[in-house]
Structure 1
Amino acid sequence: MKPFHLLTTLPLLSLSFLLFSCSNGSEEYDATGSFEATEIIVSSQANGRILALNVNEGEQLQKEQIVGRIDSTQLYLQKMSLLSNAKGVRAQQPDISKQTSAIQDQIKTLKREKARVERLIAANAAN
């Protein structure tokens, strides 16, 4: 058995490694460059806890496509409160027809009184 000589085998290993690992550079690339993602912020029209979200990262979506569901309990309660307030405001509105009817009666009475006073003045019966 021959002794192992590091000085003779190391250069041979290095040379063979260089010969077989290097290429001639004839590969052609289809494309080179870097890809950048376009980030879009998607916001909800209402506040609330997300109950369902059916969308994956990178998925293309259509305009107005529904991809999730949020808890709208607070929004519903707020709507009911506003409807109740509107009903209360309508109940407090004065009845204009009753007011105008009363004023029309006053106008008729004042016109009769004016005509009576004018007749008294014409007859020299008033002071």
Structure 2
Amino acid sequence: MFIPEKSLRQGDPLAPFIFLIVAEGLAGVSVLAVKATLMCFELASGLKVNYSKSKVGWKGISSDKLSRFASVLNCDVMKVPFTYLGMKVGGNHKRLGFWEVVLEKIGEVERKFFVNGRENLLD
């Protein structure tokens, strides 16, 4: 018998990845099966899915079907491109605008850790 020693907590960085793994495995399954799986996830993990903050997106299905899917799950439809962990997903990576956020972040890190070309280690 498997007895878990640690559990997921609200805000755990692994929670979105576990959700994505489950969602990927449910490709082609009915929306009610997805809803039931999410309910099982809530019961098993002790976490609650915040549907008002959640969005659903799926490649290769009509926008009408996606809207019905979102309606059953009580969440919004995801628009592409979207931002995940501060990075654009689904945008055109060949355009400079796609990389502006990344370049800004690199600039912030440089300003924080390097002053006048010298390493500035903070305690």
Could you tell me the TM-score, scaled by structure 1's length? Answer: 0.22
- Could you state the TM-score of these two structures normalised by the residue count of structure 2? 0.22
More helix by share: 1
**Which structure is larger by alpha-carbon Rg, 1 or 2?**
1
